[in-house]
Amino acid sequence: MSEVEGPAVHQPHSGDLRQRTADAVAAGLAHSGIAADQRDAWTWELSLSGEQRRGMPVRIHVDERTTLLQAFFMRAPDEHHAELYATLLRRHQRSYLLRFALSDDGDVLLLAVVPHAAMTGEELDRLLGQLVRTADESHATALRLGFASYIDREQAWRARVGAPRNPIT
């Protein structure tokens, strides 16, 4: 059998695509007005705040084939692990690209992995907006589940000293 050659299809070199993605991330961050520290040619660190979840550290890294967006959501929970994880997993049903994950230390993260071909400034803006919305919608419930005993102790202390209640309850 002879091989039939078709028209040559230009596949961008992975380095070119990686650089184009890094440029899109840099332009998207600049366009959005979000202050970010560029750690190297492929990595940015920033902080996002919503109505409920404030000062959330975010790292964006353009890898060889994908762009990883990773945000610290909360430290490892003290209690009610199964209920908390089930709640966060159910949240995935309503999420576009973002997923909850656990770090090696048990801290809860929000992650998105995006192929380079899909990453644009607009897509970055959409992801960061979803990140803030997801964190805002989930944070108070997650804290109540993961740190219920601590919150109860704090509220009792606040009542004893005449301080206002913590709004997390």
| Cα atoms found within 13 Å of the Cα of residue 8, Cβ hemisphere only | 3
The number of beta carbons lying within 10 Å of the beta carbon of residue 48 is 17
Burial of 62 (0-12, 13-18, 19+ CB in 10 A): buried
* Interatomic CA distance for residues 94 and 87, integer angstroms: 12
Q: The tokens of 60 are what? A: 């964006």
Q: Check whether 67 has a pLDDT greater than 90.
A: yes
pLDDT at 14: 63
Q: Does the pLDDT at position 8 exceed 60?
A: no
Q: Tell me if 121 sits within 8 A of 31, measured CB to CB.
A: yes
3 falls within a domain: no
Could you read off the pLDDT of 107-129 as tens digits, one per residue? 999 999 999 999 999 999 999 99
**pLDDT band at residue 154 using 50, 70 and 90 as cut-offs:** confident
Q: Is residue 142 part of a domain?
A: yes
Instruction: Look at residue 89 and give its three-state secondary structure.
Output: helix
Indicate whether 68 belongs to any domain.
yes
- More confident position, 8 or 140: 140
Q: Is 83 part of a structural domain of the chain?
A: yes
**CA of 61: how far to CAs of 8, 42, 74, 150, 159, in Å?**
32, 6, 20, 35, 45
State the residue for tokens 């803006």.
Answer: 125
Mean pLDDT of 146-150: 91
Strand segments, DSSP code E, in the chain are 36-40, 43-48, 56-62, 66-74, 99-102, 108-115
Give domain status of residue 166, yes or no.
Answer: no
Residue 168 lies inside a defined structural domain of this protein: no
Q: In the predicted model, is pLDDT for residue 11 greater than 70?
A: no
Total number of domains in the chain:
1
Q: What is the CATH number of the domain that holds 48?
A: 3.30.1460.10
Q: Is residue 110 part of a domain?
A: yes
Distance CA 88, CA 85 (A): 5
What confidence score (pLDDT) does residue 169 get?
59
Residue 9 pLDDT class (50, 70, 90 cuts): very low
**Residue 26 located in a structural domain:** yes
- Provide the residue range defining the domain that includes 100: 14-161
pLDDT band at 2 (very low <50, low <70, confident <90, very high): very low
Considering the chain, what is the average pLDDT of its residues?
A: 90
Torsion of CA 114, 116, 118, 123, to 10 degrees: 70
Instruction: For residue 88, report the phi and psi dihedrals to the nearest 5 degrees.
Output: -70, -35
Token output for 58: 């975010």
pTM of the complete model: 0.84
